[in-house]
A and B are shown apart, each in its own frame.
Chain A
Amino acid sequence: MNAALKLPVEPWARRLVLLEIALPVVLLVLGIYAGLLQVLFRAGVIQAAEFWGWEYYQALTLHGIVNAIVFTTFFAVAFGNALVPYALGTKLPLRWAWVSGIMMIVGTLMAAWAILAGKASVLYTFYPPLMAHPFFYLGAALLIIGSWIAFFNWIPLYLRWRREHPGEKTPLAVVGMFATFIVWLIATVAVAVEVVVLLLPWSLGWTQEVNVPLARMLFWFFGHPLVYFWLLPAYTMYYTMLPRLGGGKLYSDKVARLVFMMFILFSIPVGAHHQFAEPAISSGSKLLHSFLTFAVALPSLLTAFTLAASLEYGARQRGARGLFDWIVKQPFFSTDGWMFSYLIAGLVIFIMGGISGIINASYSMNLLVHNTSWLPGHFHLTVAGPVLLAFLGMSLHLLATYTGKAIRLKRLAVAVPYLWLIGVFIFSWGMMRGGLHGEPRRTNLGMSYLNPDSPFYHPEWKLYVTVTMIGGIIMTLAMIAYFTVFFATALRSRTKEPAAEFPLSEAYHDEPVGALANLRPWVITAIVLIVIAYTPMVRDVLRGTFSNAPGYEPHNPAPVNQIEQLDTSP
């Protein structure tokens, strides 16, 4: 593999990207520790409400927020801040990039404080009428708005590039990152409305009650596209870097662009597939969203083909023959192109994640698995599979290139994704099998269902929770290895000049792309689809909701406004 193009980066742009990479990795240490606790609680090894001051649901809130919201959002912004200017051959405008970064950091610290202080044990979905401290909502709002600003900061770069390069195709990396943030922008408008209009004033005591089904609809308008926001930066790496790391070329540039456009189209109007078991939404809306969910599976199926074809092309160039030889001839353990291991392991995990996802999306079949441990079993094969590994790999790459420090313990770095793969497969087998037997998610099983002294004891789940625990411990070990590599690299002294450097692939089929060249028609069609999918649902929710609800703190069955009245009465 010949060396990738290196571009110099201004010191303050470097520092920003490094900060946006390092802070979430440090927080991830806490998030992973919480994950380890969860498997121990659930296996009945810890039979208590808390462990060393970490209450189960408080730790679970931290786990969801840090791993799935903070780490992913920071990473997407940092990656875009590095990749978009690189691919366009320009520089990152610093002022707004820093404004965005600081907003995100302040927001994260506010929410982290609320969670660690035990004032926001509402889980990462923060369903009302459970109520958290205002700082939790304010922090979430700052994080989201900060990420919008990062995106707005790239748009002028893109427009200028188009003016200066008439008739040229937009670099694929930029298409990928813009698709990511277009989906994110549209989706987060709904959750911003939920947080800023409904929940923040309510938690401050300015309003008394909240419309719960409406809040839930707004949350899931955001909640599903959220998973594509996680996935699309990983897809960007798969399409623009994996073929080259595998020694080949991207099989088809056009299909890659089509895939990103399909994600813009279908990512959003699918929220009701998280709400199959709920009142106030008609089965017609649920079926329509289920249908559109199948549509959004299409780009992933195409991706499976295109990526396999790209890898096969690479291996055949290196002399692979026969039907399966090309699979064996991938550089799985290469330390030069070490990032290959992170991407390929994630893809293998994603095969299982995708299949289980289609099951979840299947309307009435969802009733079998809804809110059982099957669900976390499934999404550790997506967000804690391809997404996590791609993000970890790229974080390490950015650390190394932006600080100019060669990666230490490279062999260990290459082992991490495979160790994780083994761990997460074992973990998810336990979670999913247990789920099919009714094991609930979001539940401190060690206090009841897996506690022989409890009237609720379910010995038939013992096997599943134990397997889950073993998988979870292996995952933890993989992460300890990763943190070791990351911090050992960060703490060494500089070995080369810092620079931006991404192994971008060439295309094998590089055709003109026609209507795919332009984002606008796709965004407009996406908005039309959203209106079609959500208009009947908004009507359902407004018609089917009879009353609003006051807020509750998780530890008290009396509504917050009644407790306050008691406090102030003489």
Chain B
Amino acid sequence: MDRIEKTVMVIAIVLLVVFFGAIVVAATSYGVDVPTCVTDRKPFVESAPPFKTSDQPLRYEVHTVARMWMFDPPEITVPPGAEIDFYLSSADVVHGYHVEGTNINLMAVPGAVTYARLKFDREGSYSVLCHEYCGTAHHLMAGTIVVSHRAMEGEQ
């Protein structure tokens, strides 16, 4: 190998190390992480609309069941500022769960539970798409998340 080649090799390695370093920093310092392995929850077939798990005002948990070809619950409503713990399970085949415009991008895999958390600050309606092929009517499988002040009023 001549000198230029060695230089190129070093530059390439430095570049890749910088890229990877940025990922690790994002995950550790900014909490930008991927869904992970949940071992304390059994897959569920009963869904649960957003409910509160603690005294903190805007903390919710939702249990979504994906099945051919719908999400259950199909629509959920929370107030702005809500921080939701998403638990996702599949009742049949593999599905996807992508909340448009957010980092909630999950796979629903039979036999395990997927988990992610996100805070919704902006009011509006977010489409949720199944983006993994799940059979003949896969393109009809979608849901909505509504972030609205009205959700506040309905609460006791």
Interface stretch among A75-83, A363-371, A390-398? A363-371
Whether B93 contacts A540 by the Cβ 8 Å rule is no
Known contacts A129-B93, A282-B37, A368-B105: A358-B19 contact under CB 8 Å = yes
**A-contacting residues, B107-137, CB 8 Å:** 107, 109-115, 127, 129-136
> Which of B16, B38, B112 has most A Cβ within 10 Å?
B112
How many residue pairs, one in A and one in B, have C-beta atoms under 8 Å apart?
A: 205
The residue that A438 contacts in the complex, of B35, B67, B100, B140, with Cβ under 8 A, is: B100
Query: Would you call A140 an interface residue if the criterion is a C-beta within 8 Å of the partner chain's C-beta atoms?
Result: no
Q: How far is the CA of A57 from the CA of B93 in the complex (A)?
A: 16
Q: Say which size band chain A's interface belongs to.
A: 35 or more
Whether A279 contacts B38 by the Cβ 8 Å rule is yes
Residue ID in chain B nearest A297 by CB atoms: B16
Whether B139 contacts A443 by the Cβ 8 Å rule is yes
A368: chain B residues within 8 A (beta carbon): 103, 105
0/1 interface trace, chain A 334-378, chain B, CB 8 Å (1 if under): 000000000000000000000000100011111110111000000
Q: How far is the CA of A444 from the CA of B34 in the complex (A)?
A: 28
Query: Would you call B84 an interface residue if the criterion is a C-beta within 8 Å of the partner chain's C-beta atoms?
Result: no
B106: chain A residues within 8 A (beta carbon): 277
Question: Smallest distance from the beta carbon of B16 to chain A beta carbons, Å?
Answer: 5
0/1 interface trace, chain A 528-566, chain B, CB 8 Å (1 if under): 000000000000100111111100111111010000000
B142: chain A residues within 8 A (beta carbon): 448, 456
Query: Would you call A403 an interface residue if the criterion is a C-beta within 8 Å of the partner chain's C-beta atoms?
Result: no
B115: chain A residues within 8 A (beta carbon): 279
Whether A279 contacts B103 by the Cβ 8 Å rule is no
Whether B16 contacts A298 by the Cβ 8 Å rule is yes
B105: chain A residues within 8 A (beta carbon): 277, 367-368, 370-371
The residue that B34 contacts in the complex, of A251, A364, A448, A546, with Cβ under 8 A, is: A364
A372: chain B residues within 8 A (beta carbon): 98, 131
B140: chain A residues within 8 A (beta carbon): 447-448, 456
Q: How far is the CA of A546 from the CA of B109 in the complex (A)?
A: 11
**B-contacting residues, A443-462, CB 8 Å:** 443-445, 447-449, 456, 458
Whether B111 contacts A363 by the Cβ 8 Å rule is no
Whether A294 contacts B94 by the Cβ 8 Å rule is no
Known contacts A371-B131, A552-B92: A448-B23 contact under CB 8 Å = no
A511: chain B residues within 8 A (beta carbon): 1
Interface stretch among A1-9, A84-92, A148-156, A208-216? A208-216
Query: Would you call B36 an interface residue if the criterion is a C-beta within 8 Å of the partner chain's C-beta atoms?
Result: yes
Known contacts A443-B139, A543-B39: A305-B68 contact under CB 8 Å = no
Question: Smallest distance from the beta carbon of A372 to chain B beta carbons, Å?
Answer: 7
**B-contacting residues, A110-150, CB 8 Å:** 121, 123, 127, 129-130
Main secondary structure of the interface of B (DSSP, over half): loop
Query: Would you call A442 an interface residue if the criterion is a C-beta within 8 Å of the partner chain's C-beta atoms?
Result: yes
Known contacts A290-B23, A364-B27, A441-B131: A545-B111 contact under CB 8 Å = yes
0/1 interface trace, chain A 248-283, chain B, CB 8 Å (1 if under): 000110110000000000000000000111111111
Residue ID in chain B nearest A450 by CB atoms: B139
Whether A216 contacts B131 by the Cβ 8 Å rule is no
Question: Smallest distance from the beta carbon of B30 to chain A beta carbons, Å?
Answer: 9
Question: Smallest distance from the beta carbon of B80 to chain A beta carbons, Å?
Answer: 21
Whether A509 contacts B2 by the Cβ 8 Å rule is yes
Known contacts A213-B112, A283-B34, A443-B139: A552-B93 contact under CB 8 Å = yes
Residue ID in chain B nearest A282 by CB atoms: B37
Q: How far is the CA of A49 from the CA of B135 in the complex (A)?
A: 12
The residue that B92 contacts in the complex, of A216, A251, A438, A559, with Cβ under 8 A, is: A559
Whether A547 contacts B98 by the Cβ 8 Å rule is no
Whether B32 contacts A449 by the Cβ 8 Å rule is no
A366: chain B residues within 8 A (beta carbon): 34
Whether B20 contacts A294 by the Cβ 8 Å rule is yes
Query: Would you call A286 an interface residue if the criterion is a C-beta within 8 Å of the partner chain's C-beta atoms?
Result: yes
Query: Would you call A463 an interface residue if the criterion is a C-beta within 8 Å of the partner chain's C-beta atoms?
Result: no
A458: chain B residues within 8 A (beta carbon): 127
Whether B1 contacts A254 by the Cβ 8 Å rule is yes
Residue ID in chain A nearest B100 by CB atoms: A438
Whether A557 contacts B69 by the Cβ 8 Å rule is yes
Whether B67 contacts A557 by the Cβ 8 Å rule is yes
Between A and B, 9 residue pairs with Cβ closer than 8 Å are A130-B93, A298-B16, A442-B133, A444-B138, A456-B142, A540-B37, A547-B43, A557-B68, A557-B69
The 9 closest A-B pairs by CB, nearest first: A440-B131, A557-B68, A279-B112, A301-B12, A549-B110, A438-B100, A554-B135, A371-B131, A280-B112
Seen from chain A, the residues whose Cβ lies within 8 Å of a Cβ on chain B are 49, 55, 57, 60, 121, 123, 127, 129-130, 211-213, 216, 251-252, 254-255, 275-283, 286-287, 290-291, 294-295, 297-298, 301-302, 305-306, 309, 358, 362-368, 370-372, 438, 440-445, 447-449, 456, 458, 509, 511, 540, 543-549, 552-557, 559
